[in-house]
Chains A and B, each alone.
Chain A
Amino acid sequence: MSFLPSCRDVSRHLSEALDSGRPLGMHVRLHLTLCEACRRVLAQFALIRHGASRAPDAGPSLPAEAKERLRRALGGG
């Protein structure tokens, strides 16, 4: 399948398509029908975007000393 773009080129096209919004070219689409690894990359780039766009609802807390400093600054301590 040497007439088709390489996995390297396809992965770059997939990344650029996420930003341009333009449809994928015929050769890239044909490559995807034949290459499971690049199909996974397409899905996984989109999945990472989905997860990354959500605000974190768990994780570290503001350190206690910073809270105390801010409470004083805001007139509560």
Chain B
Amino acid sequence: MTSDPSGWVDAYGDRLFRYALSRVRDEGAAEDLVQETLLAAFESRDRFKGESSELTWMTGILRNKLFELYRRQAREVPLLPSDEDADPQSEFFDARHWKADSAPRDWGGEPARSAESAEFAAALRRCLDALSAGVARAFVLREMEGFEPDAAAETLGVSRGHLAVLLYRARLRLRRCLEKSHFAPEAAG
């Protein structure tokens, strides 16, 4: 038995929206996911057993809607190895070593605490927006949703080897973007 659905938007709308917005690229898509989630919860409210909180239950529905969206996008526009932006080799490295402007810097202070802040979440969203869609989706599934690599590859419609390439690119580019925008902006020059 759920609470009165008329109170769901005020109780859960903002948190579901933030969750969705951190995983898709625009507000309209995030709004659509929240709407689909709340309407699906409304339709199935008689089956809610109260074994988890309502927010956990609705977040589970939202996650399934997100994965459906990713699968649909993968079917409509298959990710090809040549689709992603330039190979990171020349972007980050010279012959063997890090380029001077790409070498990882000291993030100082208490980076673990900093990675738990609202400012980090906002910076991560901006940095994800700067990635190509396939690279960003690979990171979301593996690092934000905790998918095992085989499941992430299946959802994106790519091979395990292609997923590894996507994740490598995502990690290199997010690392540099987060360094410049959040962890060590003073070193960015």
Query: Which residues of A line the B interface, CB within 8 A?
Result: 2, 6-8, 11-12, 15-16, 18-20, 37-38, 40-41, 44-45, 47-63, 66-67, 69-71, 73-77
Given contacts A8-B92, A56-B121, whether A76 and B144 have CB atoms under 8 Å apart is no
> 9 A-B contacts, Cβ less than 8 Å apart?
A16-B168, A40-B105, A51-B124, A57-B118, A60-B21, A63-B31, A70-B35, A73-B39, A74-B9
B179 to chain A, nearest CB (A): 8
Number of interface residues of B (CB under 8 A): 63
The segment out of B46-54, B68-76, B77-85, B108-116 that lies at the interface is B108-116
B42 within 8 A of A: yes
B185 within 8 A of A: no
Which residue in chain A gives the minimum CB-CB distance to B122? A59
Which residue in chain B gives the minimum CB-CB distance to A12? B168
A68 to chain B, nearest CB (A): 9
In the bound complex, do residue A50 and residue B92 qualify as a contact, i.e. CB atoms below 8 Å apart?
no
CB contacts (< 8 Å) of A45 on chain B: these are 171, 175
In the bound complex, do residue B13 and residue A62 qualify as a contact, i.e. CB atoms below 8 Å apart?
yes
For A7, give its contact among B93, B107, B124 (CB under 8 Å): B93
Query: Which residues of B line the A interface, CB within 8 A?
Result: 4-10, 13-19, 21-22, 27, 31, 34-35, 38-39, 42, 59, 89, 92-93, 95-98, 103-107, 111-112, 115-116, 118, 120-122, 124-125, 139, 142-144, 146, 149, 163-164, 167-168, 171-172, 174-175, 178-179, 183
In the bound complex, do residue A62 and residue B112 qualify as a contact, i.e. CB atoms below 8 Å apart?
no
Roughly how many angstroms separate A58 CA and B124 CA in the complex, as a whole number? 13
CB contacts (< 8 Å) of A16 on chain B: these are 164, 168
CB contacts (< 8 Å) of A56 on chain B: these are 18-19, 22, 118, 121
In the bound complex, do residue B124 and residue A52 qualify as a contact, i.e. CB atoms below 8 Å apart?
yes
CB contacts (< 8 Å) of B97 on chain A: these are 6-7, 37
Most buried by A among B4, B104, B164: B104
Given contacts A15-B167, A40-B106, A61-B14, whether A66 and B34 have CB atoms under 8 Å apart is yes
